[in-house]
Amino acid sequence: MKMSYVKKSVLTAACIALCVVLPMAFHAIPNSGSVLSPMHIPVLLCGMICGGPFGLLCGLAGPFLSSIITRMPPMAYLPGMMIELAVYGLVTGLMMQLVHTGKIYADLYISLIISQLAGRIVAGIANALIFSVGSYSIAAWAGGYFITAWPGLVIQLLLLPTIVFALERARLIPVRYPKQR
Amino acid sequence: MNDILKGRYIPGDSFLHRRNGTAKLLAFFMILAAVLTTDSVPGYLLIAAVSAAAAAMSEMRPTKTLGQVRHLRLFFLMLFLMNAFFYEDGQAGGLVLWSWGIVHLSVPGMIQGTHVVLRILFLMVFCNVLIRTTPPVQITTAIETLIAPLRLIRVPTAEVAMILSVALQFIPVFAQEADLIKKAQTARGAKFESERLRDRAASVVPLLVPIFLSAFRRADDLATAMEARGYGHRQTNGRGRSQRAAVQLPDVCLFLFSCLFFLVQAAR
């Protein structure tokens, strides 16, 4: 069973809204934005469930609306973050379309890891060539995107498959491999 | 949590409140460009005068206009000090006041720090004025108007605008629901107020699955209702489209003034 265009649109809207709400829920934890990366979760999920173009839109609109409404992220970091999240959403959706191993866990983890790497590489290139020309190094890239953010990476890798399963069990999204059940 | 959402848009009937959202957004982009091209004292004085005029036209108290700027004093100080001590031109010919290892307190660094701080400060002030005088739905409509040319490359701009406006409707609902779930988890022993960072982080994680489930359930209900009422792919017939305010002469004047302001700053 495939999802309709309207349902994909509304689920994308829900993910964009969660991009604003989740950082507020994580607000009690100091530096939660850079450490736990709560905004990445709905964008990755949107790409997985609704596909690349919807993930791309979620990645662009989520941080933009959040910045306008809650000032998280600050305007100075917004363009870089929009590019990073847009790539996450787009690549996750494309990978979920391309990868069909027959096992949902394998599909989810392959798509997640590739999109997390792609987003970080593109964001690093954007920072080096556009946003922080001359003052950006590989050490700063690795420090900012992998060392500081490792708790967020672990949370995403642990939680996203759980959320996808929970949504499938609640029949809110179509089951990817119905024969396994 | 809902406190963060309060006080963003302030309803009013000022000159700026009455302006067309698209005109305001375009003027904001031109002013943004003007601020980024400024690098002289008269230029900053002109920007200060324009920001004061914008605040007066929005009929906001100076504290509201400054918004979070007041709370970011430490951030601005850090920004200035980082530039003053680590600006690389200081090593290459600029007047270095003090040097120790890789740290160089230089005059070009201090000037660069002042530029960066002033630019961010003015951007925040103008951004505050825009956000506090424009409802989010009007900003969405303005974005739809501005991205309309993307239809030429087959981007469904009406659908994009619909998604954005549905997202805006969802935000307060989800925030309230997240608050409820948070209270339920607190009743079950989650330690959101714990002083230990680990406890706080661990308590937030179990929030996520219920928040996603409830958000997707609401989205599913809405999608079913929309489909039942005939809201279909590329056959929207204008349904769900927000009403656009007509462009008036003062809107055109506002945009032309911002263009002039940018040209003056760029030519300086």
Contacts of B89 in chain A (CB under 8 A): none
φ, ψ (nearest 5 deg) of residue B221:
-60, -45
Which residue has better confidence, B241 or A169?
Answer: A169
Q: Report if residue A158 sits inside a domain.
A: yes
CB atoms A172 and B160 under 8 Å: no
Q: Which of B118-127, B145-154, B216-225 has the highest mean pLDDT?
A: B216-225
How many separate domains does chain A show? 1
CB A119, CB A91: distance < 8 Å = yes
CB burial of residue B175 (10 Å; 0-12, 13-18, 19+): buried
Report d(CA A54, CA B153) in Å as an integer. 16
Report d(CA B153, CA B21) in Å as an integer. 25
Q: What is the pLDDT along chain A (181 residues), one digit of tens a residue?
A: 678 889 999 999 999 999 988 888 776 666 666 667 889 999 999 999 999 999 999 999 999 888 877 767 877 788 888 999 999 999 999 999 999 998 888 999 999 999 999 988 998 888 777 776 666 777 777 777 777 778 778 888 888 998 998 899 888 998 888 865 5
Residues 226-255 of B with CB under 8 A from A: 226-227, 231-233
Among candidates A83, A92, A3, which has minimal Cα distance to A45? A92
CB atoms A16 and B163 under 8 Å: yes
Check residue B231 and give its pLDDT.
78
Check residue B219 and give its pLDDT.
93
CB B242, CB B21: distance < 8 Å = no
B54 interface with A at CB cutoff 8 Å:
no
SS3 track for A7-60: HHHHHHHHHHHHHHHHHHHHHHCCCHHHHHCCCHHHHHHHHHHHCHHHHHHHHH
CB B151, CB B252: distance < 8 Å = no
**Chain A interface test: which of B125, B216, B239 (most A C-beta within 10 Å):** B216
Check residue B247 and give its pLDDT.
83
Q: Which residues are paired to B100 by β-bridges?
A: B103
For chain B, the average pLDDT equals: 80
Residues 70-99 of B with CB under 8 A from A: 88
Check residue B3 and give its pLDDT.
47
Q: Is A112 helix (H, G, I), strand (E, B) or coil?
A: helix
**Chain B interface test: which of A2, A6, A15, A155 (most B C-beta within 10 Å):** A6
CATH number at residue A97: 1.10.1760.20
CB B136, CB B164: distance < 8 Å = no
Q: Report if residue A29 sits inside a domain.
A: no
Q: Which amino acid is at B157?
A: T
Place of tokens 């949902």: A104
A90 Cβ partners below 8 Å, 6+ apart? A47, A52, A53, A55, A56, A59
Check residue B90 and give its pLDDT.
47
Select from B171, B192, B223 the Cβ nearest to the Cβ of A17.
Answer: B171
**Chain A interface test: which of B163, B164, B173, B221 (most A C-beta within 10 Å):** B163
Check residue A35 and give its pLDDT.
65
Check residue A17 and give its pLDDT.
93
CB A148, CB A30: distance < 8 Å = no
- Counting every residue written for chain A, the total comes to 181
ipTM of the complex: 0.88
Place of tokens 């994580």: A26
A1 interface with B at CB cutoff 8 Å:
no
Contacts of A154 in chain B (CB under 8 A): none
Structural domain containing residue A153: 5-23+36-176
CB A19, CB A66: distance < 8 Å = yes
CB atoms A10 and B216 under 8 Å: no
* Cα dihedral A42→A43→A44→A45 (10° resolution): 40
Buried b (16+ CB within 10 A) or exposed e, B55-76: bebbebeeeebbbebeebeeeb
CB atoms B164 and A13 under 8 Å: yes
Query: Euclidean distance between the first and final Cα of chain A, in Å?
Result: 15
Helix (H) or strand (E) holding A137: none
Check residue B196 and give its pLDDT.
67
Which residue has better confidence, B195 or B5?
Answer: B195
B239 Cβ partners below 8 Å, 6+ apart? B231
φ, ψ (nearest 5 deg) of residue B242:
-75, 155
Q: Both tokens of residue B31?
A: 């002013």
B68 interface with A at CB cutoff 8 Å:
yes
Q: Is A145 helix (H, G, I), strand (E, B) or coil?
A: helix
Using one digit for the tens of pLDDT, what is the confidence trace for B204-222? 777 888 899 999 999 999 9
Select from B5, B170, B182 the Cβ nearest to the Cβ of A14.
Answer: B170
Q: Enumerate the domain spans of chain B.
A: 2-135+246-267, 157-228
CB A83, CB A120: distance < 8 Å = no
Report d(CA B4, CA B6) in Å as an integer. 6
Distances (CA, A) of B73 to A69, B79, B80: 21, 10, 11
Backbone CA torsion sign across A26, B72, B83, B131: positive
CB B128, CB B65: distance < 8 Å = yes
Residues 122-151 of A with CB under 8 A from B: 134, 151
Check residue B7 and give its pLDDT.
44
CB atoms B211 and A166 under 8 Å: no
Query: Euclidean distance between the first and final Cα of chain B, in Å?
Result: 45
Q: Which amino acid is at B236?
A: T
Q: Report if residue A28 sits inside a domain.
A: no
